[in-house]
Amino acid sequence: MPGHFEPLPGGGAAVALDDVEISIIRSLAVQLLELIGPGPAEDAPDDPLAELFAEGPSEPPADPVLRRLFPDAYTDPEATPDPRAAEEQRAHSAEFRRYTENDLRAGKRENALAVVRSLDALSVEEEGAAVLKLSPEGSRQWLGALNDLRLAIGSRLEIADEEDTDLLYRLPDEDPRKPMVMAYLWLGGLQETLVTTLLP
């Protein structure tokens, strides 16, 4: 079990994590929460219907990480040579974003919060390790959060395809990106083994 998820009888998954690994995942999840930001209901707590009727933004986020987490629904208008078609795609993307981004943000926020809460509930033994046990629902939330964390880190590292990932393996130890590369690769391993536990 160390370093990878294993299936639990009856569903769910388990992984052994040491206190450093717990600290890293928790810190990354908290940073992701800060990046995603509060939900509409947190901005207007006196109005219980505010979140239900709130429209999201119509423009893509300026931050490249958020653009990766909340991409346009339609083809990139910049890649469309026909100006009229590009403008139509912008309009469709804006409309889609306006009605879906708040829900997407809420889902990503809930997944990251589930990660933080499950890690906070762990009891680290004297050996400095703990076994995290997840229900099937918890496994899905963790999977979503791990995916978002890797997308965020990949965006900061400017990983666009598999070739970029291959280059990361060859970074010298003194490269300042090395710790984030190691986190990216490690989270990828966790994500892959967690996916395996969810397969029928």
pTM: 0.83
3-state helix, strand, coil in the chain (%, to 5): 60, 10, 30
User: pLDDT digits over 146-194, tens only?
Assistant: 999 999 999 999 887 777 777 777 888 898 988 999 999 999 999 999 9
pLDDT of residue 43: 46
Is 18 exposed, middle or buried (CB count within 10 Å of its CB: 0-12, 13-18, 19+)?
Answer: middle
Cα–Cα distances (Å) from 47 to 40, 50, 54, 84, 91, in that order, read 10, 5, 11, 40, 30
Residue 8 per-residue DSSP state: P
pLDDT, average across residues 83-109: 84
Dist CA 72 CA 98 (whole Å): 11
Instruction: Kindly state the tokens that stand for 182.
Output: 């190691």
pLDDT, average across residues 106-131: 91
Share of the chain above pLDDT 90, in %: 49
Instruction: Kindly state the tokens that stand for 53.
Output: 């009727």
Instruction: Kindly state the tokens that stand for 168.
Output: 């990361």
Closest CA to 106 of 187, 157, 51, 188: 51
pLDDT of residue 76: 64
Q: Is the pLDDT of residue 73 over 60?
A: yes
Backbone φ and ψ of 47, nearest 5°:
-115, 100
Question: Average pLDDT of the chain?
Answer: 85
Dist CA 108 CA 147 (whole Å): 10
Q: Is the pLDDT of residue 14 over 80?
A: yes
Indicate the pLDDT class of residue 54, thresholds 50, 70 and 90: low
Three-state DSSP at 13 gives strand
Dist CA 13 CA 5 (whole Å): 6
Q: Is the pLDDT of residue 30 over 90?
A: yes
pLDDT of residue 87: 80
Closest CA to 12 of 197, 200, 199: 197
